Amino acid sequence: MLLTGGTGFVGRWLLSAFIHADRTHGLDAHVDVLTRDPRAFAAACPELAASGAVTLVTGDVRTADLAATAYTHVIHGATPSSAGVNGDRPRETLDVIQTGTNHMLDLAARGGAARFLLLSSGAVYEPPAPADGFDESSPLGAPWPRERSAYHAGKRTAEDLAWNAAEDGLEVTVARLFAFVGPFLPLDRHFAIGNFIGDALSGRTIRVKGDGSPVRSYLYAADMAVWLWTMLLDPAAAGAAFNVGSERPVTIAETARLVAAESETAVGVTILNEGSPSGAGRRYLPSTARARAKLGLEPTIDLSEAIRRTVAWHRGMAS
């Protein structure tokens, strides 16, 4: 198998699940992980890099020459996820997403891959989400540059490229990822729940920058990994897009208070703009009816337990 984007949060979970399954069931499977900096990845995740089932391959997703290996399955998730790159260098974001996706699709098709899983995003939808969440037929947003986010626009283009490849015979599945919580989640980036956990573990007051009213949902990362591997391997997933996330709505303010409670720290929660609603377009939720009906997928870990597990993992890493 080939995995791009294996060094990020989602990729690390996919690799952890893969290694566990390979050891437990004697699969004799192997995955190449394309990365621009194998040494940095090996230093950050030595237990993953040291697995005999994993090989780190140096290269850029846009240009890597991997023609010598015929991959049976490809998971393509490499994307600049940094808010800084997306905002400050939008054309770079677009190029990595679009050129990288095209290159990986071509590689998979030429090598005769059986399946191709594109890791897309719930950000492809036109906000705000309806009351019962976006479903896979919900309207998509505008192309670049009418869409101000290069990341959002790039993901829409990547999906178009994937569906074009499917028309030429490649079996494609698109996974539209929403929000998650679990070990490996950065605590100092643009993930609100990660920042809240970081505040709690540092003994700081949890600060909600807005009014706390935006609505989100969080799927535990282990469930996410199970869903994504199912979407790659289950024949029923071929040729379709699936939302990956939780349907349980929770406001940002409620999330902050839940983190404070489940982390068992004596920190408080401050809502910086309480009483000043932020406006429309702040509801970001998936409907996962298709994943339930076609693939039998359900969340198994509720949000409170997910937070407790994430907090425990970070405490263990710090000790």
Domain ranges of the chain: 2-182+219-247+284-300, 192-213+249-282+312-318
The mean predicted confidence, pLDDT, of the chain is: 93
**Count of all residues that appear for the chain in the document:** 319
For 215-264, the pLDDT digits (tens) are 999 999 999 999 999 999 999 999 999 999 999 999 999 999 999 999 99
pLDDT at 280: 42
- Distance separating alpha carbons of residues 59 and 261, to the nearest angstrom: 43
Give the C-alpha separation, 172 to 166, whole Å: 6
| 192-213+249-282+312-318 CATH choice from 3.10.20.30, 3.40.50.300, 3.90.25.10, 3.90.550.10 | 3.90.25.10
192-213+249-282+312-318 matches 2-182+219-247+284-300 in CATH topology: no
Strands 2-4 and 73-76: parallel
How far CA 221 is from CA of 28, 77, 185, 210, 270, in Å, comes to 25, 15, 9, 26, 27
Compute the CA torsion angle 71, 76, 82, 87 (nearest 10 deg): 130
pLDDT at 83 over 60: no
Residue 159 CB-density burial (10 A; 0-12 exposed, 13-18 middle, 19+ buried)? buried
Answer yes or no: are the C-beta atoms of 56 and 38 closer than 8 Å.
yes
Other CB atoms within 10 A of residue 68 CB = 6
Instruction: Report domain 2-182+219-247+284-300's class.
Output: alpha beta
| pLDDT-derived band at 44, boundaries 50, 70, 90 | confident
